[in-house]
Each structure stands twice: as structure tokens, then as C-alpha cells.
Amino acid sequence: MRSARDIARGVAAREFSAESVTREALAVIDRENPRVNAFTQVFHDFALAQARRVDADLASGKPAGPLAGVPVALKDNICLSHGRTTCASRLLENYHSPFDATAARMVMGAGAVIVGKTNLDEYAMGSSTENSIFGPTRNPRDITRVPGGSSGGSAAAVAAGMVPVAIGSDTGGSIRQPAAFCGLVGVKPTYGRVSRFGLVAYASSLDQIGPLARDCADAALVLDVLCGKDEHDATSVDLPTPASHNTLDEPVSNLVLGVPTQAWSTANHAGVTASLKSAIDTYKQLGAKVVDIDLPLSDYAVAAYYIVAPAEASSNLARFDGVRYGRRAEGAKDLTDMLCKSRREGFGPEVRKRIMLGTHVLSSGYYDAYYTTALKVRRRVKDDFDAAFRAGCHAVLMPTTPGPAFAIGEKIGDALAMYMEDVYTVGINLAGLPALSIPAGSASVGGATLPVGVQIVGQPFEEGELMRIARMLERAGQSAGMA
């Protein structure tokens, strides 16, 4: 599969048609999807119709969009008026959205062709894409392993070469962790950068939409299209788009990177620590200054996140009552029974657990002890990052995950082990900062060589600079590979 930028350029120059690119992508999906289970739905006819429209518009002299003819996969918690928007939940199994999410509208408006919806953990709650009514997605790099989650389907679709780019959502790591597990670049923009209108809300104060791609240039291309103010999302900000695609190859001069003490956890896999070290060495060779920093509150980030996120989820998911949305249970004796039965049948065990946990931490008598305390931690997690930026760091460098992709089934029965997967990612959502994961090495586990990512955390709304910093590492890796 060609890169997104090659496709957009070739389609715009009319060297090949969007239709031919789409047919190629659909053929790869038909061949590979049974093996990896990345897609919940594939839109053969709809995709070809979109592609033909792109070709017809170009033929009639309309200007080409930045994603002209690029096949894109959309996470199945992002509303699209075509097909179903299931959130991988029994409750929404047959839900048809009456409208398109702004993110979907933006990529289609830029000429992209949405080829299907991708698998996820139910309502984006999970780190492995195992909590899905469609069954687990498999990591294309080793199909006995998880692709990460919750945007595991989006990551697997890109890693298997079915599409050059995909759209995911990230509430506590759901773009970055799958990117790390599948050897991709995954970007979570600053909170407010990308409209969440039409993203089925999990935890509204943390959710962001962003791209997954094979390299920085393709990620930047899609990121620029997604960014912007949207009158349908009051939290979206009115700032010029980061233009990260155009500035990508300009290295940041006098770059200062902070590496937190907490990055060197003894719980890290040796391959993770080695990859972080090698990224630090590369940046030093490029002339960057790498300084030690301290993010003391990050030790409490997982605890705070697993209070704030379920609290918001318990409120957001109250709308799924079997009346206004989705599946309604049969044979209920009265209204309360119908609500309870519909929700019990419709939600999987992880979602039920989080709704109960969230309701508990918001209930009178526990609100201050749990929820208010978590909000205080949240503020101080942000203060720690702010202090690093104020001390002169352009960005913070740390692992994306403590280890490489784990085996399917390995952690699903151990909630704490699963939640600890998020130790490096959730603090960034609590702080609202932009961050990405980029491939930085590998780890060997039982004879398999698996990708490892490093995470770069940027300053608010500095996605352009963040992408340039990431590109420096990527380019150094490419020239080392050529030597």
C-alpha cells in the first residue's frame, strides 16, 4: 500500500484514479481482514461511490483535497450516516447514526474515501481490543498478540497494509498504545484541537480524535485535516491549523527534551528501556539537550484516571436506555425492568464495571473522597508538565507503554495488570496535552521481535513542533538504516 501522500499526489495529478486505489485497498482488506479482524464493517459499494465522486470532481476541474483518493478506516465509535455505529457493543449493534461526525466529514471533505469501520474495546474502554462483541483484533505483527486498544482495529488496519491511515480516539492512550504495539505513528492532539462532535463520548473531558499512520508525514497530513474549530463542539478551539505537514522537515533548533525519572520504571521490559535510551542518544547526536525532569504526580495518574474516566462514563452512558438508542430487552414487566434488562443485556462486563465504579465515586458521601481528590491529582499532574515546559523543555520524552504487545488472553482476567498498561499515557489526557507514539526499536519476547514506541509529549497546541521533533527521530532512524 502506497503512502497517503503518494496517493493524494497521484490522484490529484490524475496519474491513477481514486477508484483504482480504493479497489486495491478493498482487495487487501478482503484478503487480510479474516486473519486480523480489524474491521467491523467494510463498505465496498459506499467506498467505490466516494472514490468515483473524487475522480469525477477532479475531471470537472475542482481542486483536489489534501487527502484526494486516500482510503481511510474509521474507528467504530465515530458516527457515520452510512452503515452502523456500534462501539463494539451489543447495545448499539444495529444503531444507524443519522449524521456524520465532524472528523468524518472533514476527512471526506478533503477527498478521503472511508472504506469501513474498525474494531475497538466496547465504548473505547480497554487496552487490548478484546472487549468487543466482534471478537478480538489480532496484531498483524504477531497474530497471537493484541494490537493494543482501544483503537486496535484502526492500528491493525494500517499495520496490515489495508489502509495507509486510520482515525482513532484517545481518552487514556487508545491511539498511542496501539500505535506502539503495531509499529506505527499515532497522534493524540491537544484537548480542544479536534472536534469531538459525533464521537460517542466515553469521558468527555479526556476524549480526543487523532490519526494513526505508518510515518510522521502521513500522520501530519491527516492531523492537519482533522484540526479546527467546530460550532458543534464547544470545547474545540479557534486556532490556525498546525500546518504540521508543511513544516515537518524543519528540525527544531536548540531542542531541549525532558526525560522524567519515572520513565525508568523497573517494570519496563528491557526492550522499552533500550529503545528509550537509543532515542535519547539519537536526539543528543542531533544536537538536542536532554535533561532529567521529575513528574512526581504521575505515580498517581492511573488511580486518578480510573476515577475521572468512569465517573464521566457513568454519566455519558446513561443515555443508552433502550428507549432512545439501540437494543431494547424483550419481556420486561415495567419501565424500570426494561431499562435494567436492556442495559444488563446490552453492556459487556468491563463497561458495566466502569458504570458502577463511576456511579459510586460520584455518589453522595464518596464524591469528595474519590472524585474531588482525583480532580486535585489531575491538576497537579498538569502542574508537573507545566513546570517542565516552563524550565525550558520543548517536549517530554518517555515510553508509550511499559512493554510490547502482550498475548491475547494474557491480561483480560487481571484488571490491574490491564490498567497498568496505561501508566505512561493517561497522565497526558488528564493534562490535556498533545502527544504521539513513534516507533523507536524492538523487543524480543519468546522468539518474536515486536515493535516498541517512544512517546513525545508536546506543549498545548504545539502539534506542529511536536511533529517536527518526532520527524527528527524518524529521519535519523531512516538514514541509520540506509548506512
Closer residue to ligand GLN in complex, CB, 199/293: 199
- Examine residue 126 and tell whether it contacts ligand GLN (CB under 6 A): yes
- Give CA–CA dist 52/293, Å, rounded: 52
Phi, psi (degrees; rounded to nearest 5) at 78: -110, 120
Q: Which of 127, 129, 268, 275 binds ligand GLN (CB under 6 A)?
A: 127
Helix 18-36 and helix 44-59, axial crossing angle in degrees, nearest 10: 160
CB of 247 to ligand GLN, least distance (A): 28
Phi, psi (degrees; rounded to nearest 5) at 145: -115, 160
- Give CA–CA dist 119/411, Å, rounded: 19
Give the burial class of 243: count Cβ atoms within 10 A of its Cβ; 0-12 exposed, 13-18 middle, 19 or more buried. Answer: middle
- Examine residue 172 and tell whether it contacts ligand GLN (CB under 6 A): yes
- Examine residue 170 and tell whether it contacts ligand GLN (CB under 6 A): yes
Closer residue to ligand GLN in complex, CB, 218/422: 422
Closer residue to ligand GLN in complex, CB, 50/137: 137
Closer residue to ligand GLN in complex, CB, 51/302: 302
CB of 122 to ligand GLN, least distance (A): 10
C-alpha cell of residue 118: 474498525
What are the residues whose beta carbons fall under 8 Å from the beta carbon of 364, sequence distance 6 or more? none
In terms of phi and psi (left: phi > 0; alpha: psi -120 to 50; beta: otherwise), the region of 162 is alpha
Residues 441-460, one symbol each (x = binds ligand GLN by CB under 6 A, - = not), give --------------------
CA neighbor of 455 nearest in space, from 262, 217, 233, 185: 185
Choose, from 17, 75, 97, 154, the residue flagged as catalytic: 75
CB of 262 to ligand GLN, least distance (A): 18
Residues 369-408, one symbol each (x = binds ligand GLN by CB under 6 A, - = not), give ----------------------------------------
- Alpha carbon 25 to its chain's center: 21
Q: Which of 173, 348, 358, 451 binds ligand GLN (CB under 6 A)?
A: 173
Tell me how many degrees the CA angle 196-140-454 measures, rounded to the nearest 5. Answer: 60
Count the helices and strands in the chain (H runs, E runs): 16, 11
Task: Based on the residue annotation, tell me whether 75 is a catalytic residue of this protein.
Answer: yes
DSSP secondary structure string for all residues of 359-385: HHHHSTTTIIIIIIHHHHHHHHHHHHH
CA neighbor of 357 nearest in space, from 422, 414, 310: 310
Q: Which of 12, 92, 125, 472 binds ligand GLN (CB under 6 A)?
A: 125
| Rg of the chain over all Cα atoms, to the nearest angstrom | 21
- Examine residue 174 and tell whether it contacts ligand GLN (CB under 6 A): yes
Binding residues with ligand GLN: total (CB under 6 A): 13
CA neighbor of 319 nearest in space, from 87, 142, 140: 87
Residues 192-231, one symbol each (x = binds ligand GLN by CB under 6 A, - = not), give ----------x-----------------------------
- Examine residue 89 and tell whether it contacts ligand GLN (CB under 6 A): no
List b or e across 29-43, with b for residues whose CB sees 16 or more CB atoms inside 10 angstroms. beebbeebbbbbbbb
Q: Contacts with ligand GLN in 297-336 (CB under 6 A)?
A: 309
CB of 244 to ligand GLN, least distance (A): 22
CB of 424 to ligand GLN, least distance (A): 11
445 bridge partner residues:
448
DSSP 48: H
Q: Which of 33, 85, 118, 171 binds ligand GLN (CB under 6 A)?
A: 171
CB of 191 to ligand GLN, least distance (A): 13
Choose, from 89, 97, 127, 150, the residue flagged as catalytic: 150
Choose, from 127, 154, 174, 342, the residue flagged as catalytic: 174
Q: State which H helix or E strand residue 22 sits in.
A: helix 18-36
293 bridge partner residues:
260
Task: Based on the residue annotation, tell me whether 298 is a catalytic residue of this protein.
Answer: no
CA neighbor of 184 nearest in space, from 206, 211, 159: 159
Closer residue to ligand GLN in complex, CB, 255/457: 457
DSSP 347: S
Q: Which of 19, 76, 422, 463 binds ligand GLN (CB under 6 A)?
A: 422
Closer residue to ligand GLN in complex, CB, 118/342: 118
CB of 174 to ligand GLN, least distance (A): 3
Q: Which of 119, 150, 342, 400 binds ligand GLN (CB under 6 A)?
A: 150
- Examine residue 140 and tell whether it contacts ligand GLN (CB under 6 A): no
By annotation, the residues acting in catalysis are: 75, 150, 174
In the complex, which residues of this chain contact ligand GLN (CB under 6 A)? Answer: 124-127, 150, 170-174, 202, 309, 422
